[in-house]
Amino acid sequence: MTETTAVPQTTAGATATEAGAAPQDVTAAAHAIADRARAASRRLARANRAWKDRALLEIAESLVAKRDVVIAANRQDVEAGRRNGTSAALLDRLGLDAGRIDGLAAALRNLASLPDPVGKVERGQTLPNGLRLRQVHVPMGVVAAIYEARPNVTVDIAGLALKSGNAVILRGGSAAAGTNAALIGIIRDALDRVGLPADAVQTVDEYGREGAGVLMQARGRVDVLIPRGGRDLIQTVVNNAKVPVIETGEGNVHIFLVKSAGEEMAVDILPNAKTQRPSVCNTVETLLVHSEAQAAPAVLAALAAAGVRLHVDGRVAALLPEGAGGEPATDEDWGREYMDLDLAVGMVDSIDEAVTHIHRWTTGHTEAIITNDLANAEKFIAEIDSAAVVVNASTRFTDGGELGLGAEVGISTQKMHARGPMGLQELTTTKWIVQGDGQIRS
Q: Given the rule CB under 8 A, which residues bind a second copy?
A: 42, 45-46, 125, 127, 131, 133, 135, 138, 140-141, 219, 223-224, 238-239, 242, 244, 246, 264-265, 268-269, 272-273, 276, 359, 377, 381-383, 385-394, 396-398, 402-404, 414-417, 419-421, 429-441
Residue 127, burial from CB neighbour count under 10 angstroms (0-12, 13-18, 19+): exposed
Hey, is 223 helix, strand or coil? coil
Q: Which is nearer to a second copy, 85 or 438 (CB)?
A: 438
Q: How far is the CB of 274 from a second copy (least distance, A)?
A: 11
Enclosing H/E stretch for 315 = helix 314-317
Exposure string for 165-174, b = 16+ CB within 10 A, e = fewer? bbbbbbbbbb
20 or 404: CB nearest a second copy? 404
Q: How far apart are the first and last CA of the chain?
A: 52
Q: Encode 12-50: b = buried (16+ Cβ within 10 Å), e = exposed.
A: bebbbbeeeebeeebbebbeebbebbbebbeebbebebe
Cβ at position 10, least distance to a second copy in Å: 26
Smallest gap, in angstroms, from Cβ of residue 239 to a second copy?
7
Q: Which residues pair with 366 in a beta bridge?
A: 388
Measured between alpha carbons, how far is 400 from 409 in angstroms, rounded to an integer? 8
Q: Where are the alpha helices (DSSP H) in 176-295?
A: 177-193, 208-217, 231-240, 263-275
Q: Is the Cβ of residue 180 or residue 362 nearer to a second copy in the bound state?
A: 362
Closer by beta carbon to a second copy, 62 or else 425: 425
Nearer to a second copy, 82 or 360 (CB): 360
Residue 45 or 64: which CB sits closer to a second copy? 45
How many CB atoms are closer than 10 A to CB 102?
A: 14
Give me the least distance between CB of 441 and a second copy, in Å please: 4
Query: Could you tell me the smallest distance in angstroms from the CB atom of residue 54 to a second copy?
Result: 20
Q: Which is nearer to a second copy, 6 or 389 (CB)?
A: 389
Task: List the alpha helices (DSSP H) in 46-121.
Answer: 49-65, 67-83, 88-94, 98-113
CB 405 within 8 A of CB 414: no
Rounded to an integer, what distance in angstroms lies between the CA atom of residue 358 and that of residue 252? Answer: 9
* Least distance in angstroms from the C-beta of 157 to a second copy: 17
Amino acid identity, position 138: V
> Closest distance between a second copy and the C-beta of residue 263, in Å?
11
Closest separation in Å from C-beta 207 to a second copy: 23
* Closest CB to a second copy among residues 142, 157: 142
Nearer to a second copy, 80 or 238 (CB): 238
Of 141 and 173, CB closest to a second copy: 141
- Residue 370 backbone phi and psi in degrees, to 5: -115, 115
Min dist CB 260 to a second copy, Å, is: 14
The closest alpha carbon to 60, from 166, 208, 181, 194, belongs to 194
* Least distance between a second copy and beta carbon 238 (Å): 7
User: 299: which residues sit within 8 A by CB, 6+ positions away?
Assistant: 257, 263, 266, 267, 270, 287, 289
The answer to whether the beta carbons of residues 357 and 217 sit under 8 Å apart is no
